[in-house]
Amino acid sequence: MLEGAKPLVSAMSSIIFTNLFIEVALIYGMHPGDTVAVETKTQTYQGIVMPSVDKKVFVLKLESGYNLALERKKITKIKVVQAYNSVEKASSSSVSPKKGLKNVAILHTGGTLASKVSYQTGGVVAKFTPEELISMFPELPKIINTTPRLIRNMFSEDLNFNHYNLLAEEVAKEIKNKVDGIIITHGTDTLHFTAAALAFSLEHLSIPVILVGAQRSSDRGSSDASLNLLCAAQFIAQTNFIGVGICMHETTDDLAGIILPATKTRKMHTSRRDAFKAINSQPWARVSRTGEITIITKFHDPPKAAFTVKPFNPDLKIGLLKSHPHLQKEELAAYKNFDGLVLEGTGFGHFPINNIDEFTKENTTILKTIETLAKKLPVVMSSQCLSGKIDLDVYETGRKLQEAGVVGNSSDMTPETTFIKLAWLVSNHPKECKELLTKNLRGEISERQPYQQD
C-alpha cells in the first residue's frame, strides 16, 4: 500500500479516496459527471470527472472549460463534492427528456470533436459512439434534450456529395420527428463545405442546423470540443434562429463560441481553436461560455414554403483549379470531361492569359482552353484572395475572360462556397445555372459590400 493510503471502508464514509483506491472508487462511488476535488502533493483541483481511455490518466474538466489530465499515480486524494444526479448518470440514450427543454438531435459524422488519441498508433482516431460523446459532455442534458445518432464516423476530408445527401436526408427525418433543432458534429477540414452544401440542399429549412467541430481532440487539455458543442446547444436552446450555421471558438480563449454563416465561412488556420472566420460577412451571434447570447446579424425570417431536400447529383464531376505562375494548359485541359469548373484566380479573378513577350506564348493556349471549356460546361471565377469580390471589369484580363465565357463577375463567394453552389446548381437547376450563380440564394453573396472600401 502506498504511503497515505486508507482502507476503503473509512474512505467510503468520508468519500475520500487515496490513489490506490481510485479504480475502486470509480466503480463504487464516482462517475463521469461527478464534481470532485483532487489533490496532488503540490496542488488541489476542482472539476467534473470525465471519462478517460487511459487508465493511468484521470481527466478533469475544470471550471475554465479546459480538460486537465492528471497522472493517477500523482493523485493523493479525491473527494466527491457533488455527485452527478441519478438521471444524468444514466447513459445519454436513456436520459429522460426534461420538460421545458428543446429537443435537439445530434447527428455524429466524426472528426476531432469525437476523437481521442489512439495509444496504439499515437494518432487521433474518431471512435466514439454518440452515447460516449454525450457522456463526455455532462452539461449538455441541462441545456437540451438530446437524441444523438451515429451517421458516420469519418474524417471530413473523405466526404463527398453522397454524404451531403445522406446528411440532408437524416436532417429531413429529424424534422419529421419534430425536433426543435439539429447539431451535426463534423471534422473541421471540410466543415465549411458541408455547411454550405446543407444550406443549399435543405430548401425552406424551418429549424436551426448547427455544425460543430473541434480543432483539438476531447481528451486534450486544450480541447475546444466542449465549449463549441455547449455553445451550439445554448444557441439553439435560447434563440429562434432558422437556417444552417457553424459554431466554433470566437478567440483562442475559452470565453465564447461564435455562430458563423454556413455559406460565408472558411477555415483560416490549421490548428488554432478560432480557425473559422466569417468571410466578407459577419457572424450571426456570439455565445459566451456561461450562455449569454449577443445577436450580431438579424436572423432569417421563417420560410414561406414547405421544407424539401434538393440533393446533389453524386455522379457529377466538378473541378476547382487554382491559378499560379507558370500555369500549364494541360492543367485546364484535364477538366474537359467535367460538368463544371471553379477557377480560383488571382486578385479580382485573373488567370495567365496574356501573350506579351517571348516567354508568355503558352498563355494564348490557356485562354483558348478556357474558351473551349466554357462552351461545354459552366466555368466560374472565384478569388484566391481571402476577402473581397470578383471584378472582371477592372483589367483587360478580366474582360478577356468574360469574353471567353467565364462567369461569376461581382460575386464575393468563397471558392469553397462557389464550388458547392455550382455543384448544387448543376444538380438542380442546370438550365438557369449561369444566371443563378451570381444571384444570392442562401446568403452566399453579400447584398452590400462596405468592406470593399477598407
Please, which residues have CB within 8 angstroms of residue 74's CB and are 6 or more apart in sequence?
Answer: 40, 41
CA distance 165 to 198: 9
CB 244, CB 198: distance < 8 Å: yes
Task: Compute, in degrees rounded to 10, the torsion defined by CA atoms 115, 120, 121, 124.
Answer: 10
User: Cβ of residue 156: shortest distance to ligand GLU, in angstroms?
Assistant: 4
Q: Is 189 one of the catalytic residues?
A: yes
User: Cβ of residue 267: shortest distance to ligand GLU, in angstroms?
Assistant: 9
Query: End-to-end alpha-carbon separation of the chain, Å?
Result: 69
Pairing type for strands 57-62 and 67-71 reads antiparallel
CA distance 400 to 379: 14
Q: Is 112 one of the catalytic residues?
A: yes
Q: Considering the complex, state which of residue 111 and residue 243 has its C-beta at the smaller distance from ligand GLU.
A: 111
Q: Considering the complex, state which of residue 110 and residue 352 has its C-beta at the smaller distance from ligand GLU.
A: 110
**Residue ranges binding ligand GLU (CB under 6 A):** 111-112, 155-157, 187-189, 213, 215
Q: Considering the complex, state which of residue 88 and residue 254 has its C-beta at the smaller distance from ligand GLU.
A: 254
User: Cβ of residue 273: shortest distance to ligand GLU, in angstroms?
Assistant: 11
Q: 7: burial class by Cβ within 10 Å (0-12, 13-18, 19+)?
A: exposed
Q: Is 121 one of the catalytic residues?
A: no
Residue in the block written with cell 484535364:
334
Residue by residue, DSSP assigns 270-307 as SS-TT-EEESSS--SEEEETTS-EEE-SPPPPPPSS--
Of the candidates 264, 267, 277, 434, the residue annotated as catalytic is 267
Of the candidates 188, 397, 417, 418, the residue annotated as catalytic is 188
Q: Considering the complex, state which of residue 47 and residue 257 has its C-beta at the smaller distance from ligand GLU.
A: 257
C-alpha cell at 157: 476530408
C-alpha cell at 100: 421545458
User: Cβ of residue 248: shortest distance to ligand GLU, in angstroms?
Assistant: 10
CA distance 22 to 30: 9
User: Cβ of residue 217: shortest distance to ligand GLU, in angstroms?
Assistant: 8
Pairing type for strands 256-261 and 208-212 reads unpaired
Of the candidates 35, 109, 112, 185, the residue annotated as catalytic is 112
CB 214, CB 224: distance < 8 Å: yes
Vertex 23: Cα angle to 22 and 29 (nearest 5): 75
Q: Residue with CB nearest ligand GLU?
A: 187
CB 342, CB 334: distance < 8 Å: no
C-alpha cell at 101: 427543454
CA distance 216 to 385: 27
CA distance 323 to 373: 16
User: Cβ of residue 68: shortest distance to ligand GLU, in angstroms?
Assistant: 22
Q: Considering the complex, state which of residue 34 and residue 219 has its C-beta at the smaller distance from ligand GLU.
A: 219
Of the candidates 54, 180, 189, 274, the residue annotated as catalytic is 189
User: Cβ of residue 275: shortest distance to ligand GLU, in angstroms?
Assistant: 9
φ, ψ of residue 439 in degrees (nearest 5): -100, 140
CB 317, CB 339: distance < 8 Å: yes
C-alpha cell at 73: 499515480
Number of H helices, E strands in the chain: 13, 23
User: Cβ of residue 228: shortest distance to ligand GLU, in angstroms?
Assistant: 11
User: Cβ of residue 155: shortest distance to ligand GLU, in angstroms?
Assistant: 4
- Residue 306 identity: A
Active site residues: 112, 188-189, 267
